[in-house]
Structure formats: C-alpha cells, structure tokens
C-alpha cells in the first residue's frame, strides 16, 4: 500500500479471501444449523466488531495518526476485554487479572521508551479511530465466547467473515477496482497471500479456538507478546540491539501475562 492497493480495497480482498478459506475449511466438519433467532444478532455483532469496524477503523486510523501512537493505543485492548467480559458475559473480576494486564501494559510502555509519540490535534481523529478499533476487537473477543459454546470455531468464523465481507464491500470496492494487479510481481502477490492466509485466516481461527480453551481475557492479554516478538525479530535481523531496559520490559510483560493466566481465586474482587 498504497501503490499497488489502497487500504480499504485491501480490506475487501483480505476479508473476502479469508471468508472463502473459512467456507472451504468448514466442509471438513459436520454441517451445523445456526439458530438465527437466538444467535443471529451475536453473529452479526461479531462480524461488525471483529471484522468490518475493527479492520476499517484500524487502517483509516493508522493512515491519520503515527505508527507509534497506534501501538501505544492498542495496549488498551486487553483492558477493554477485561471490562467487557465482566459487563457482557457477567464474569467475576479477578484482581490478579487486572494487575496482570496493567503490569504487561507497563512492560510494553517501557519497551517502547525512547520512541517519539505524541497526541495532538493533527493525529486526534486517527487516535480516536485506533481506540475505537481496540474497543471493537475487545467486543468481538467477548461476544464470540458464548457463540463458541454452541458452535464449532469454523462455523462461527465462517459466518463472521461471510457477513463481514458483505459489510466491508461498499467501503472498499471502489479502491479495489483501482488496484494495479497487472503490476504486481511474485513478491507482492506472496505478501498479499501471506496476509490473507496467515495473519487473517489462521490468526482468527486460532483466536477462536483459544477463546474456547482460555477465555477472552487471557487471549486479549497475549496481545502484549507482540512487541516482544517484534523486538526479538528486530534484534535477529540486526536492526535493533537488546539493552537492559528492553530485558526488563520483556520480564514485566511475561510476568503480567503469567499473572493474568493464573486462576488465583482468593483475589476475586467484590465488584
């Protein structure tokens, strides 16, 4: 982007491609009949929050604000997951989970220390969209939990992306029609396929499976491992160096995720 393909056009291609893959993959399981009266609204909510609004707001927000602002604001996602899981799914709030999420947040901020980020009137619209994106993805993780108690992960993901593809179509079809497909070499095509297959299809499938096994709060908390992986990859590619403050940050993040993943029942909040 944006030479070969613009943002919203890319989203249409990404969502439609993933929807096709989920449709094909779902043939491997026994067909499940959806109770649309009971669960239709929640499936639609997952399509809006997890696919359409989530991706559209992130791409547009990142276009307006700076990458470092986007990275900092996305740290709020697990906090929103924790709050929405209590409000929507009526889950009891564990103080250990709250402390773990906050500790991992601090670790991420330490890891990004020294990088320039600032919130101004110029970046405000993009910053707001990134925050709304974080809330949207958190709502998806929480909303999907109850659906996954009734249906297979492939069934939920299939309908989520099929509806999501319809929702993003009006926003990106114009840009998609202007895409320079004829100029794309093998490298660009492979990169697009990688995003569709691995960072969309595989990622959402594994997230759905993880929600069933671990719950939305823990799945949200693992977002904090992304900056660690980015730092490690940067060091391996010799584009960054491992300093003491980065080691400290990594330890804080691991500690936060570990605390969030433990079920310490005596830390239950009275809320």
- Measured distance CA(70)–CA(19) in Å, rounded: 27
pLDDT digits (tens, 9 = 90+) for 135-158: 999 999 999 988 999 999 999 999
Whether 90 shows a pLDDT value over 50: the answer reads yes
Distance between CA 107 and CA 128 in Å, rounded? Answer: 23
The more confident residue out of 54 and 70 is 54
Q: Which residues contact 137 (CB under 8 A, 6 or more apart)?
A: 49, 50, 54, 77
- The answer to whether the Cα torsion of 14, 257, 91, 75 is positive or negative is negative
- Three-state DSSP at 95 gives helix
**Residue 48 backbone zone (phi > 0: left; psi -120 to 50: alpha; other: beta):** alpha
At residue 120, the pLDDT reads: 66
pLDDT digits (tens, 9 = 90+) for 203-260: 999 999 999 887 887 788 777 777 777 777 877 877 767 778 778 877 888 888 888 7
Mean pLDDT of 114-127: 70
**b/e 136-165 (16+ beta carbons within 10 angstroms → b):** bbbbbbbbbbebbeebbbbbbbbbbbbbbb
DSSP state of 148: T
| Residues 108 and 46 sit within 8 Å (Cβ to Cβ) | no
Angle (CA) 107 215 24, round 5°: 110
The structure's pTM equals 0.81
- Rounded Cα distance between 123 and 64, Å, is 6
What digits encode the pLDDT tens for the residues 175-208? 999 999 999 999 999 999 999 999 999 999 999 9
Mean pLDDT of 71-98: 78
Residue 163: band (very low, low, confident or very high) from pLDDT cuts 50, 70, 90: very high
9-51: pLDDT as tens digits: 999 999 999 999 999 999 999 999 999 999 999 999 999 999 9
> Residue 201: is it exposed, middle or buried by C-beta count within 10 angstroms (0-12/13-18/19+)?
buried
């Amino acid at each position: 982007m944006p030479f070969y393909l613009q943002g919203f056009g890319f989203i249409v291609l990404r969502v439609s491609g993933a929807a096709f893959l989920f449709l094909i993959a779902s043939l491997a399981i026994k067909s499940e009949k959806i109770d649309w009266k009971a669960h239709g609204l929640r499936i639609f909510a997952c399509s809006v929050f997890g696919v359409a609004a989530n991706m559209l707001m992130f791409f547009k927000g990142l276009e307006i604000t700076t990458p470092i602002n986007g990275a900092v604001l996305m740290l709020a996602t697990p906090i929103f997951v924790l709050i929405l899981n209590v409000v929507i799914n009526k889950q009891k709030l564990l103080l250990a989970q709250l402390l773990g999420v906050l500790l991992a947040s601090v670790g991420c901020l330490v890891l990004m220390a020294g990088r320039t980020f600032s919130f101004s009137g110029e970046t405000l619209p993009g910053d707001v969209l990134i925050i709304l994106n974080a809330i949207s993805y958190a709502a998806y993780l929480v909303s999907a939990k109850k659906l996954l108690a009734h249906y297979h992960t492939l069934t939920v993901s299939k309908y989520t992306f099929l509806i999501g593809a319809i929702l993003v179509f009006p926003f990106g079809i114009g840009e998609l029609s202007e895409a320079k497909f004829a100029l794309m070499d093998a490298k660009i095509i492979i990169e697009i396929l990688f995003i569709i297959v691995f960072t969309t299809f595989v990622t959402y499938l594994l997230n759905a499976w993880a929600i069933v096994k671990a719950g939305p709060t823990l799945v949200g908390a693992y977002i904090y491992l992304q900056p660690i992986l980015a730092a490690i990859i940067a060091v391996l590619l010799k584009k960054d160096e491992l300093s003491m403050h980065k080691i400290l940050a990594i330890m804080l993040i691991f500690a936060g995720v570990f605390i969030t993943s433990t079920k310490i029942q005596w830390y239950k909040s009275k809320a």
